[in-house]
Amino acid sequence: MTTPHLSAAPGDYASTVLMPGDPLRAKYIAETFLDDVRQVNEVRNMLGYTGSYQGKPVSVQGSGMGVPSFQIYATELIRFFGVSRIVRVGSCGALQHALSLGDVVLAMGAGTDSMVNRTRFEGRDMAAVADWGLLLRAAQAAEAAGMTVHVGSVFTSDFFYDPNDNPFDLFERHGVLAVEMEAAGLYGLAAEHGIEALAMMTVSDHLKRHEAMSAEDRQSSFDDMTRVALALL
């Protein structure tokens, strides 16, 4: 079955899909961590792959940036390819001083300035939350691997470049760990379709301390987080 944005055939995706924003990260994950890999999508260069990790089938599909792009790919994976578990593997900007570059954030819940979940819930607020089993197992796997992991709320913004004053102080006061651009869309979609979902992000920059990770450090902490995501299989 080909969908408007995925040229894959029926059965081409595994039931679990890791979704990085960057399609080249999907290619990197597939080539670095998976066995028996084949490319299943190249429409718009939004690369997708299916292979196995320690004998278990898994797919990796780029999502693009922001809620609308993420939801296009995730919706087609769920509706047309029977995907029942999606793990976002991305990056985020930290807001709390307890967080450092390279730490892992597991989004227990996600607030947002996007309208998608309000629209889904017919004008009401919706609790956009992670699957508890995935969240628990990811926290345990990250801690067992010696990583510094933070579990809590994130804010999913439609703006990377906000035209108004950044609301970062407000978010910080309310305990929001970090800002990113997709988690709330994933969680709303997961609730709509009854699938399991988790968004995990490495801290690539610190918005209060004005720090950013080097390219090499980005790569190694992304690798560590990817292993945690794959441990969920």
- Which part of the chain contacts ligand HPA (CB under 6 A), choosing from 55-63, 116-124, 144-152, 177-185? 177-185
At its nearest, how many Å lie between ligand HPA and the CB of residue 133? Answer: 26
Interacting residue with ligand HPA among 22, 158, 205, 217 (CB under 6 A): 205
In terms of Cα–Cα distance, which of 95, 55, 71, 56 is closest to 21?
A: 71
One-character DSSP codes across 91-104: EEEE-STT--TT-E
- Which part of the chain contacts ligand HPA (CB under 6 A), choosing from 11-19, 70-78, 102-110, 202-210? 202-210
Neighbouring CB atoms inside 10 A of 143's CB total 13
Interacting residue with ligand HPA among 83, 92, 128, 135 (CB under 6 A): 92
* CA angle at 112 for the pair 21 and 66, rounded to the nearest 5°: 20
183 binds ligand HPA (CB under 6 A): no
- 66-83 b/e with 16+ CB inside 10 Å = b? bbebbbbbbbbbbebbeb
- Which part of the chain contacts ligand HPA (CB under 6 A), choosing from 107-115, 122-130, 175-183, 186-194? 175-183
User: Hey, which residues are catalytic here?
Assistant: 205
160 binds ligand HPA (CB under 6 A): yes
Distance of alpha carbon 25 from alpha carbon 219, whole angstroms? 10
DSSP 6: -
At its nearest, how many Å lie between ligand HPA and the CB of residue 91? Answer: 4
69 binds ligand HPA (CB under 6 A): no
In terms of Cα–Cα distance, which of 1, 203, 222, 5 is closest to 102?
A: 203
Distance of alpha carbon 154 from alpha carbon 218, whole angstroms? 20
At its nearest, how many Å lie between ligand HPA and the CB of residue 62? Answer: 15
Tokens of 215: 């390219």
Interacting residue with ligand HPA among 51, 93, 111, 188 (CB under 6 A): 93
226 binds ligand HPA (CB under 6 A): no
- Which part of the chain contacts ligand HPA (CB under 6 A), choosing from 7-15, 35-43, 187-195, 200-208? 200-208
63 binds ligand HPA (CB under 6 A): no
Find out whether 146 and 102 touch, Cβ atoms under 8 Å: no
Residues that bind ligand HPA (CB under 6 A): 91-93, 157, 160, 179-181, 204-205, 207
